Amino acid sequence: MLDKNPELSIEDMTKIQIQFEQQNPKIVLCSKPFHKIEFLDRLINSVEDPIVIVDMDLLYTGYIQSGMIQKRENIEIFCPDKIDWKKRLTEIISKVSKERFLVIIDSFNGVYNLFDELESTRFINSCIMLLSAIGNQTKSSVIITGMARKKDNDELVLSPGGKHIIKSEKIGVYFLKKIQNDLVIVTLENTGTDSKKIIRKQENI
């Protein structure tokens, strides 16, 4: 359920960044792909640090190529495949170990689709936690997006595929949804129904 905490405009990214800095990595889930792009565009435009985007589903890249989103000079986009994933990850870790970055992995679904069932769960989770641990040393922030759906017991799982979300006290899990004309992000407790509203935005891209 949503609590009675004050709603924060997405324009006030300082408070949002403070919320995000409490945990690393952050997982931002949603059921609509354009909600994800809308949120990422606002977040990226609020950050002055260099940004690395690991674009696994090519959606963000598609928005840039279509001209719907303008690429900023401080952004470097990686589109790895299964063959060069380790090489690209090594490059990103090298960057993050030297200075503060915002790293966006977009999305969980695209990453998991590269690997076999058992391999993906162990290898991908290990890569993300390693990247986050190294990022903590330079105060870098790691955000992973994902398309998700609710099961009958209200548990969120990745969609399609049904894979479970990483669970850890070190990980912040959030969910994006529309309430009337507002895009709202809520923080989820144990990726279940317990949640609290932290952000409301007032306009679209």
87-132: pLDDT as tens digits:
999 999 999 999 999 999 998 777 777 776 656 667 778 888 899 9
> Per residue in 31-61, pLDDT tens?
888 888 988 998 998 888 999 999 988 999 9
How does residue 166 score in pLDDT terms, banded at 50, 70 and 90? Answer: low
Q: Give the length of the chain.
A: 205
pLDDT for 17 beyond 80: no
For 138-181, where are the alpha helices, taking DSSP H only? none
pLDDT of residue 183 exceeding 70, the answer is yes
pLDDT higher than 70, residue 202: no
Alpha helices in the chain (DSSP H): 13-21, 33-45, 59-66, 85-96, 108-112, 117-137
Give percent above pLDDT 90 in the chain.
Answer: 28
- 204: CB partners within 8 A, 6+ apart: 38, 183
What percentage of the chain exceeds 70 in pLDDT?
71
Check whether 10 has a pLDDT greater than 90.
no
The model's confidence at residue 201, banded by pLDDT at 50, 70 and 90, is very low
Residues 125-151: tens digit of each pLDDT: 888 889 999 999 999 999 999 888 776
Query: Which whole-number Å values give the CA distances from 110 to 19, 87, 92, 120, 167, in the listed order?
Result: 26, 17, 18, 11, 19
Domains within the chain, CATH numbers bracketed: 13-201 (3.40.50.300)
Residue 78: is its pLDDT beyond 80?
yes
Question: Left, alpha or beta for 161 (phi > 0: left; psi -120 to 50: alpha)?
Answer: left
Under the banding of pLDDT at 50, 70 and 90, the label for residue 5 is very low
